[in-house]
Structure 1
């Protein structure tokens, strides 16, 4: 847990610097928010993780009109998080969105597509 706390400390410092020096819709801010969300998820603090993933999603959706794999990864992260929280009806749309984006930008045999498809199957079993 100590390493996670240290990571959060550094991410928080970094994001404050980025917020001063970059526009609010800059993709780097989305990356930091996503990383912070990932740390909170690993710590089991799902509501905090979701807060940062949602911030990241808002920034990514504003800053990029296309559907790149990094946006799909973020949708997958949110869907996986809702799955951990046992909120399966909320998880499914995010996972399906991730799959749609990955399907347009990656080969059908790519590991990320397989990961999302497995997550969708697990969520559907729980619904």
Structure 2
């Protein structure tokens, strides 16, 4: 990485990729204290060099959120996941795999924090991401379940 920083500059997006990759390795090894500053630096480079709404910024946000989630820092993870979701949806469209990944990450986070994920919660998530077509069948299923309970 030192060679890359020297050749391309400390704030080049390729340096951010290397920082992100090394941070992911540390994360997987459970070395969270080593991973966090690398992810934050990668995020800062990407925001500065690519703009705050670039999909690679969302990737950095998502990775930092995952680190926080694995450490039980759920309140720090949630807004990062939500921001990544918003960026990816706007940049890539509501049906892009990265948008689905963000939704899955939020669902996983909510499950870990004992937030009851009813069908209505999922409908809300889909509607926030302009996935109304996906929300419709869930709304019908939720209504059918409510009718059975009465």
CA RMSD of aligned residues (A): 1.4
Which runs of 5 or more residues in structure 1 are unaligned? 1-14
Match of residue 116 from structure 1: 102
Residue from 101, 107, 112 that aligns with 2:87: 101
Residue aligned with 1:101, SS: helix
Higher alpha-carbon Rg: 2
**Residue correspondence of structure 1 range 24-103 to structure 2 within 5 A:** 24-65=10-51, 67-103=53-89
TM-score by length of 2: 0.70
> How many equivalent residue pairs?
113
Distance between the aligned counterparts of 1:66 and 1:74, measured in 2? 11
Match of residue 4 from structure 1: none
Residue from 20, 26, 33 that aligns with 2:6: 20
How far apart are 1:108 and its partner, in Å?
Answer: 1.4
Residue aligned with 1:109, SS: coil
TM-score by length of 1: 0.82
Distance between the aligned counterparts of 2:107 and 2:37, measured in 1? 25
- Structure 1 runs (4+) deviating above 6 angstroms are none
How far apart are 1:117 and its partner, in Å?
Answer: 1.0
